Amino acid sequence: MAAWGERLAGVRGVLLDISGVLYDGGEGGGAAIAGSVEAVARLKRSRLKVRFCTNESQKSRADLVGLLRRLGFDVSEGEVTAPAPAACLILKQRGLRPHLLVHDGVRSEFDQIDTSNPNCVVIADAGEGFSYQNMNKAFQVLMELENPVLFSLGKGRYYKETSGLMLDVGPYMKALEYACGIEAEVVGKPSPEFFKSALQEMGVEAHEAIMIGDDIVGDVGGAQRYGMRALQVRTGKFRKWDSCSG
Question: How far is the CA of 29 from the CAs of 10, 13, 64, 161, in angstroms?
Answer: 36, 28, 10, 10
Q: Tell me whether residue 21 is exposed, middle or buried, using C-beta atoms within 10 angstroms of its C-beta: 0 to 12, 13 to 18, 19 or more.
A: buried
Return the number of other C-beta atoms located less than 10 Å from residue 26's C-beta. 14
Question: Shortest Cβ distance from residue 241 to a copy of itself (Å)?
Answer: 9
- Contact call for residue 171 and a copy of itself (CB under 8 A): yes
Pick from 93, 112, 117, 133 the residue near a copy of itself by CB under 8 A. Answer: 133
Pick from 176, 184, 198, 223 the residue near a copy of itself by CB under 8 A. Answer: 176
Closest CA to 33 of 75, 78, 68: 68
What's the CA gap between 209 and 8, in Å, rounded? 9
CB 82 within 8 A of CB 56: yes
Closest CA to 194 of 163, 160, 146, 228: 228
Pick from 76, 140, 162, 200 the residue near a copy of itself by CB under 8 A. Answer: 140
> Which part of the chain contacts a copy of itself (CB under 8 A), choosing from 39-47, 58-66, 139-147, 225-233?
139-147
Question: Shortest Cβ distance from residue 174 to a copy of itself (Å)?
Answer: 4
- Contact call for residue 132 and a copy of itself (CB under 8 A): yes
Q: Between residues 17 and 168, which has the closer beta carbon with respect to a copy of itself?
A: 168
Count the residues of the shown chain that bind a copy of itself, applying the rule CB under 8 A: 32
Return the number of other C-beta atoms located less than 10 Å from residue 73's C-beta. 21
Q: Between residues 76 and 140, which has the closer beta carbon with respect to a copy of itself?
A: 140
> Which part of the chain contacts a copy of itself (CB under 8 A), choosing from 60-68, 77-85, 162-170, 183-191?
162-170
Residues that bind a copy of itself (CB under 8 A): 126-133, 135-136, 139-140, 143, 157-158, 164-168, 170-172, 174-181, 245
